Chain A
Amino acid sequence: DSGVTQTPKHLITATGQRVTLRCSPRSGDLSVYWYQQSLDQGLQFLIQYYNGEERAKGNILERFSAQQFPDLHSELNLSSLELGDSALYFCASSVEGSGGREQYFGPGTRLTVT
């Protein structure tokens, strides 16, 4: 157990809908990262937050948004869902904002868009 929690574990929804994925970082970690992993694909970096502020942005679609709250948990919002958004979504946390520190991954949320 990495100490990073994600809810829900599974999510099935229809095209055009909107969902919210939640992540709680390890105690003491200030940074949260979101990744998308499609079937047989690598880890695509979406976005990073550090202590409530956006720190880095990757290949995140405009239909997706995220935020980090004062208690440091983070939410990833996916809207106008398409079939191609079906994937595993991981969040990871680390102590610092720098990418040079260890990132610990949560168990992931498996999103299925039908």
Chain B
Amino acid sequence: GENVEQHPSTLSVQEGDSAVIKCTYSDSASNYFPWYKQELGKRPQLIIDIRSNVGEKKDQRIAVTLNKTAKHFSLHITETQPEDSAVYFCAASKANSKLTFGKGITLSVRP
């Protein structure tokens, strides 16, 4: 089955800097890659997703890039703010198959 790994497991950045979180996946048939943000004690929230027919997608300060050849995708957050501090989960799936989540990365933005 699909295996999704996230690197690093924790990330600390200074407010205003950029943060990049990388995920790798194992199944080359996977074609959908969402990112979720989870604040402490709250539900995971979908913040951006990308499908395999595009290489990059942006939404204000966040962007996701996909490299199908290398089987990795990354979340980019620019101009980080303290409210960006959370756990970020990546996931992958192929058609008619469940989402497989990574273990999550804790992002801390230092004011």
- State whether these chains interact: yes
* Chain A contacts with B in 24-50, Cβ cutoff 8 A: 33, 41-43, 45, 48
Main secondary structure of the interface of A (DSSP, over half): loop
Does A99 lie within 8 Å of B45, measured CB to CB?
no
In the complex, the chain B residue whose C-beta lies closest to that of A47 is B98
Interface size class of A (residues with CB under 8 A): 20 to 34
Count chain B CB atoms within 10 A of each CB in A58, A97, A101 and give the residue with the most: A101
The contact of B98 among A48, A106, A108, by CB within 8 Å, is: A48
Does B34 lie within 8 Å of A45, measured CB to CB?
no
Does B34 lie within 8 Å of A42, measured CB to CB?
no
Asked, given contacts A105-B43, A105-B45, whether A97 binds B96 with beta carbons under 8 Å apart, the answer is yes
Contact with A along B46-84 (1 / 0, CB 8 A): 100101000000000000000000000000000000000
The contact of B34 among A33, A56, A58, A102, by CB within 8 Å, is: A102
Main secondary structure of the interface of B (DSSP, over half): loop
Does B94 lie within 8 Å of A43, measured CB to CB?
no
The contact of A33 among B36, B42, B51, B98, by CB within 8 Å, is: B98
Q: Is B8 located at the chain interface by the 8 A CB criterion?
A: no
Does B43 lie within 8 Å of A106, measured CB to CB?
yes
**Residues on the A chain within 8 Å of B49, using CB:** 102
In the complex, the chain A residue whose C-beta lies closest to that of B34 is A102
Min CB distance B96 to A, Å, is 5
In the complex, the chain B residue whose C-beta lies closest to that of A99 is B93
Does A107 lie within 8 Å of B99, measured CB to CB?
no
Complex A-B, nearest 9 residue pairs according to Cβ-Cβ distance, in ascending order: A99-B93, A100-B32, A105-B43, A42-B103, A99-B98, A43-B101, A99-B97, A56-B98, A98-B96
Known: A33-B99, A97-B96. 11 other contacts (CB 8 A): A45-B100, A56-B98, A58-B98, A98-B95, A99-B93, A99-B94, A99-B98, A100-B51, A100-B97, A104-B46, A107-B42
Could you list 18 A-B pairs, sorted by A, with CB under 8 Å? A2-B45, A42-B101, A42-B103, A43-B44, A45-B100, A45-B101, A56-B97, A56-B98, A90-B44, A97-B96, A99-B93, A99-B98, A100-B32, A100-B93, A100-B94, A102-B34, A103-B34, A105-B44
